[in-house]
Amino acid sequence: MHQNNTIHREERYYRQIVDLANVAIVKFDTKFILNDFTGNAEKVFGYKKEEVLGRSLYETIVPHYESTGRDLVRLIDQLIANIHSYEYNVNENIRKDGKVIWMQWYNSELRDEKNVLTGILSIGVEITDRVMMERALKESEERFKTLSNLTFEGIIIHENGLILDCNLSFERQIGYSRKELIGMQLLEQLIPPGYHVSITNMMKNDSAQYEAEAIHKDGTIIPISIESGKAKIGDREVRVAAIRNISELKKTINELDKYKNHLEEIVVQRTEELKEKSRELKKQNELLQLERNQLRTIIDHIPDIIYIKDTQSRFLNVNQKQVQHFKKKALSEVIGKNDFDFYSKEFAEKYLSNEQEILRKGIPMINMEELSIDENGNQIYLSTTKVPLKDHLGKITGIVGIGRDMTEKIRADNELKIQKMYLEESNHLLGERSEKIEKLNAQLFESNDKLEAANHILQERKEELEATLEQLKMAQTQLIQSEKMASLGILLAGIAHEINNPVNFIYAGVNSMIKDYQDVNAVIREFLKLKKGAQDTDEILDQIAQLTKQLDFNTAHQAIFETMEDIKLGATRIKEIVNGLSRFSRMENEDWKRSDIHDELNSVLVLLKNKYKHHIKIERNYDEDLPEVDCHAGKLNQVFMNIINNAIDAIGENEGTIILQTTYRKGWVYISIRDTGRGIETRDLSRIFDPFFSTKEVGHGLGLGLAISYSIIQEHQGELTVKSSPGKGSEFAVKIPVKH
């Protein structure tokens, strides 16, 4: 009994302990069947003891797998096999309501008296909250680490300069590793001395950004911005600083400054330009104003009343005469008002209806006689012209009116006709004037730019035209020159050929004559030896006879005479050619001289002889009594040269004739040059004297010959005409006055 009490007491004591301990006590056998469930197991797991006893662990409080994936079945197998490794174990368990909890288990073996393992006793404490907190903390730590390493800013945590921690960005910025940095002194090791004071100050307060410099591990200075604030970690009062490398920023700021300066320069420049422009505009405006004033003065001095009204017949503008007519002093007293303000209702209505019709139809009213009242109240007659005013688009914007007092005229009967004439005259002028005024108005109302632009264009045009004119003049001079050259060319070709033959006569002739003379001389010398009554006379005579035969004396003697004639002929020919040449060259600065036309014609023929001599016959029908003519002989030569040359070309390779005929009649000399060449087509005849017109192939003449000839004959106050029969021939007729 006593023992039983003791046992009961001990059991109660034991129970108390167990209850107080606030642990779950679980026992299971080797087959994982639960056979005890005490302590606060029921509270922890939510099961009643009866619900779990006799059931497997895995049906009740132990999941097969943990949420981490660990296999709990395997774990407990191993636990049973080797308890020493699992005396203390933390794992997940599962409540009745399915909620997952964390338990910290203390395990020990249960053996029977034979020391056979019968099961495991596990004592567990719930540590779910703790585990959750640990996880949360770890997560938060992870988050923080990620955040701090992702930020671009370098972040350090320091206490009075002693670096406690930093992020990845700062490591990169400064070149040191985190390990190296922890424990370094911020100021002494990483900041240049110049900035110590300011950073120290900054560290005393929460600050805005400071600009400073940092020293990279490799020694380079990095411009930085640094911002810091207080923080508490545990009980420690620390500072957290954010550091940014601002070297890029500084560079950008520099460039922006440069650009800003450049822009400022540009602005100044542009402002200057604009000022200049506005000065110019001001000047132009002044000029326009001046013009306006001039026009105003003109209009105000015209003794007619002149007015401009809008489409409602209100006065827009008037001249002085109109102002006076209304007995007013200033323009402002008239402008804006209408006829009803000045005339009687009857008159004003009439005027208004006139004007309305003009505006509607767009047809001006010219010289209509109207009754009006002058400034003194007397009845007067006005001859009025009202013209619709149009803007630059052609739309009618008002009326221009001119009125003339006609009273005098109408009253004076005698002067009526004269005045009427005068009126017609002045009406004409008025019409012109009103047109002019209309134009002036249109111009006045147009913009500056258009006037300026048109002027500008005209100026350019004028300059272009002047330049073109100069060029054309130059070209013309050149062409005339080259035509002269061409004429000269024909001439020279002729001369060169012509001259060869006569030169040959002379040259070869002289040489042959020398030889001949030598032969003759030999005989003569023998003759000279003869003396009257000398002994050797017979000998000498024999010698003479022999020499004569040997040297062919007779032939040589004859040859000398013949050769002399040929030489003479050659010399004469050359003289003619040179003569003709000098005539031809006498063209610039020629005076009027009396010349024989026949000489001119003949010298031209000499010059051209080579061209025609083989196949063309020349017929001369010269008037014996042809007087000399006042002329520029050289130029006339050129005319004849041109015409005769053309005649030769027209005949071509064939046989042909050129007939030259001269006649004198009543103070005029007529020269006709007719050829039997291919003639001129009727369609070309009218253009034959046109400059640059040619019936020859390209390259054979410019077509200026006849044009120049024509103008030369004109200079001589003569006429150059042509007749032609295609296929039969042409005739050129020159007519010039004897006296210049």
Partner 1 sequence: MEKKYSLLYIDDEESNLRVFKNSFRRDFGIFLASSADEGMKILDMEDIDVIITDQRMPGKTGLELLKEIHGQFPEIPPHRLMVSGFAAPHDIETAFKEYGLFKFITKPWEAEDLKQIILDVIHKGNG
Of 691, 692, 680, give the one whose Cα is nearest residue 732.
680
The nearest distance, CB 520 to partner 1, in angstroms, is: 13
**Neighbouring C-alpha atoms within 13 Å toward the C-beta of 462:** 6
- 570 belongs to the binding site for partner 1 (CB under 8 A): yes
Name the residue nearer to partner 1 (CB basis): 529 or 613: 613
Query: ∠ at Cα 606 (604, 610), nearest 5°?
Result: 115
Name the residue nearer to partner 1 (CB basis): 322 or 563: 563
The nearest distance, CB 618 to partner 1, in angstroms, is: 14
d(CA 229, CA 209): 11
Compute the radius of gyration of the chain from its Cα atoms. Answer: 69
Name the residue nearer to partner 1 (CB basis): 33 or 569: 569
- 511 belongs to the binding site for partner 1 (CB under 8 A): yes
Name the residue nearer to partner 1 (CB basis): 252 or 511: 511
Of 656, 583, 581, 579, give the one whose Cα is nearest residue 615.
656
Distance of CA 395 to the CA centre of its chain: 38
**Which of the ranges 25-33, 160-168, 170-178, 555-563 carries the binding residues for partner 1, by CB under 8 A?**
555-563
DSSP letter assigned to residue 627: P
**Binding residue for partner 1 (CB under 8 A) from 12, 615, 620, 739?**
615
- 562 belongs to the binding site for partner 1 (CB under 8 A): yes
The nearest distance, CB 559 to partner 1, in angstroms, is: 5
Q: Specify the 3-state DSSP secondary structure of 64.
A: coil
The nearest distance, CB 555 to partner 1, in angstroms, is: 7
The nearest distance, CB 567 to partner 1, in angstroms, is: 9
Residues with Cβ < 8 Å from 51, sequence gap 6 or more?
A: 96
Size of the site for partner 1 (CB under 8 A): 26
- 563 belongs to the binding site for partner 1 (CB under 8 A): yes
**Binding residue for partner 1 (CB under 8 A) from 497, 525, 549, 594?**
497
SS (H, E, C) 398-411: EEEEEEEECHHHHH
- Decide: 387 and 438 in contact? Cβ < 8 Å: yes
The nearest distance, CB 695 to partner 1, in angstroms, is: 24
- Decide: 568 and 560 in contact? Cβ < 8 Å: no
- 575 belongs to the binding site for partner 1 (CB under 8 A): no
Name the residue nearer to partner 1 (CB basis): 258 or 497: 497
Task: Write the binding mask 515 to 544 for partner 1: x where contact by CB under 8 A, - elsewhere.
Answer: xx----------------------------
- 618 belongs to the binding site for partner 1 (CB under 8 A): no
Name the residue nearer to partner 1 (CB basis): 380 or 658: 658
CA atoms 709, 714, 716, 717: torsion sign: positive
The nearest distance, CB 655 to partner 1, in angstroms, is: 10
Burial class of residue 486, CB neighbours in 10 A (0-12, 13-18, 19+): middle
Residue 671, token pair as written in the block: 């020269």
Q: Beta 656-665 vs 616-621: how paired, if at all?
A: parallel
**Binding residue for partner 1 (CB under 8 A) from 285, 471, 476, 501?**
501
Q: By CB under 8 A, what part of segment 584-613 binds partner 1?
A: 610, 613
Q: Specify the 3-state DSSP secondary structure of 629.
A: strand
Torsion region of 327: left, alpha or beta (phi above 0 gives left; psi -120 to 50 gives alpha): left
- Decide: 584 and 607 in contact? Cβ < 8 Å: yes
- 496 belongs to the binding site for partner 1 (CB under 8 A): yes
- 509 belongs to the binding site for partner 1 (CB under 8 A): yes
Which residues contact partner 1 (rule: CB under 8 A)?
496-497, 500-501, 503-505, 507-509, 511-513, 515-516, 555, 559, 562-563, 566, 569-570, 610, 613-615
